[in-house]
Amino acid sequence: RLKEEQETYKSSIEVEREEKENYKGKWMDIQQQLEEDGEQSRQMLNESMSNYDALLEEETSRVEEWMEKWKVLNDVQSSRVVNATLSSESNGTSSDVANSKAAEDKLVNL
């Protein structure tokens, strides 16, 4: 009977070892999957940041382009107001007309 109990004990210890190895293998698989998921997440984050930076740069250049157009338009409008005022006061000079024409040409070229 003692021999039977020893066999049962050895058998249960062997089963526990197998279960331990099985859990260890599963744990290692899960760790590897977590590392792969983490790397994939980092790659996605880097790609998203690159896309955002590219879009931001594109939008910034558009804003700068429109700001330049607005400044030129503002200069043209200011020139017209000044020229209209000067014209009414002195019937305009050739330099006033030339300045107004240059500002309008700049606006057209944008």
- Give me the pLDDT at residue 77, please: 84
- Give me the pLDDT at residue 7, please: 87
Asked whether the predicted pLDDT for residue 96 surpasses 80, the reply is no
Q: pLDDT-derived band of residue 53, with 50, 70 and 90 as boundaries? A: very high
pTM to 2 decimals? Answer: 0.50
- Give me the pLDDT at residue 104, please: 62
Q: pLDDT-derived band of residue 28, with 50, 70 and 90 as boundaries? A: very high
Longest dimension (CA), the chain: 130
| Rounded-to-integer distance, Cα 20 and Cα 14, Å | 10
- Give me the pLDDT at residue 92, please: 47
pLDDT mean over 63-83: 86
- Report how far apart, in Å, the C-alpha atoms of 47 and of each of 40, 41, 50, 57, 96 are: 11, 10, 5, 15, 54
| Rounded-to-integer distance, Cα 47 and Cα 1, Å | 69
Q: pLDDT-derived band of residue 79, with 50, 70 and 90 as boundaries? A: confident
| Six token digits for residue 103 | 């500002």
| Rounded-to-integer distance, Cα 108 and Cα 103, Å | 9
